[in-house]
Amino acid sequence: MRKLALGVGFISLAGIAAMAWADHPAGPHRPAIAAANPVVVELFQSQGCSDCPPAQQNLNTLADRPDVLALSFGVTYWDYLGWNDSFASPRFTERQRDYSSRNNGVGVATPQYWINGRKTVLGANPSAVSKAIAFGGPTGGPTIAVTQDHVAVGSAPAPAGGADVWLVRYDPRTIQVAIRAGENGGRTIPHRDIVRSLTRIGHWVGTAQSLSLPANTTPALLTAVLVQAGRGGPILAAAKG
């Protein structure tokens, strides 16, 4: 369902094509080593959206890149079509709307990517996403070091008002989801890097600090930490645990 949801109304994506990046050849991958500050690619999608499976498949591929932190957020606003997304949360829907509010009301859609909280790509467009990733970092934010129970955020210039520190727990496994109703009824869609929780754990104002991490009670989940300049703001730094 390629529609843009603004408030309670809907607008066809065809009318806002200028918002999306134009097609360009994908740039070369960076060296296959763990990146100190990966580019954060957030995909907002719904299992009830017929246009989302190709975008999720693209994110599944991006999950293998060491220079990318790929995160799949399930949103709730298409659940009324007959299938409740099994990974969706109202908090993830709110996060997507925060990006719209912070960026001149660009709107929310599925599928929609946000790259480092700075650029958006609408629709399943791998080449546009690759181009956005190529220009997505580094951001000049603080260093982040993540251990099992702590995160250390380094000193660096901070934006006015500081930045929030977010803990992300996500599932890196490929999970085959059988959709039994709605627009994708009868399909089985593979999902990777599914965000299961997003928790604000601190506030950073430019000075070095160490924060405790809550215990990861689900061993299958991986940990990531984001430093983000307010709700819907740019991501200044990120790290995989």
For the chain (241 residues), the mean pLDDT of every run of 10, in chain order, is 42 34 32 70 97 98 97 97 96 98 96 97 96 83 95 96 97 98 96 98 98 96 98 96 89
Q: State the Cα–Cα distance between residues 87 and 166, nearest whole angstrom.
A: 19
Name the nearest CA neighbour of 91 among 237, 240, 231, 234: 231
- Whether the Cβ atoms of residue 21 and residue 121 lie closer than 8 Å to each other: yes
| H helix and E strand count, the chain | 3, 16
Q: State the Cα–Cα distance between residues 75 and 90, nearest whole angstrom.
A: 7
- Whether the Cβ atoms of residue 43 and residue 88 lie closer than 8 Å to each other: no
Q: State the Cα–Cα distance between residues 117 and 168, nearest whole angstrom.
A: 15
Name the nearest CA neighbour of 49 among 174, 175, 172, 177: 177
- Whether the Cβ atoms of residue 158 and residue 27 lie closer than 8 Å to each other: no
Q: State the Cα–Cα distance between residues 186 and 150, nearest whole angstrom.
A: 43
Please tell me the pTM assigned to this model.
0.87
CA atoms within 13 A on the CB side of 199: 14
How is residue 183 written in tokens? Answer: 């627009």
Extents of the domains making up the chain: 3-240
Q: State the Cα–Cα distance between residues 220 and 108, nearest whole angstrom.
A: 30
Bond prior to 219 in cis (omega within 30° of 0): no
How is residue 200 written in tokens? Answer: 């604000």
CB proximity list for 217: less than 8 A, separation 6 or greater: none
Q: State the Cα–Cα distance between residues 84 and 93, nearest whole angstrom.
A: 13
**Residues listed for the chain:** 241
Q: Assign 176 to helix, strand or coil.
A: strand
**What's the confidence (pLDDT) of residue 35?**
67
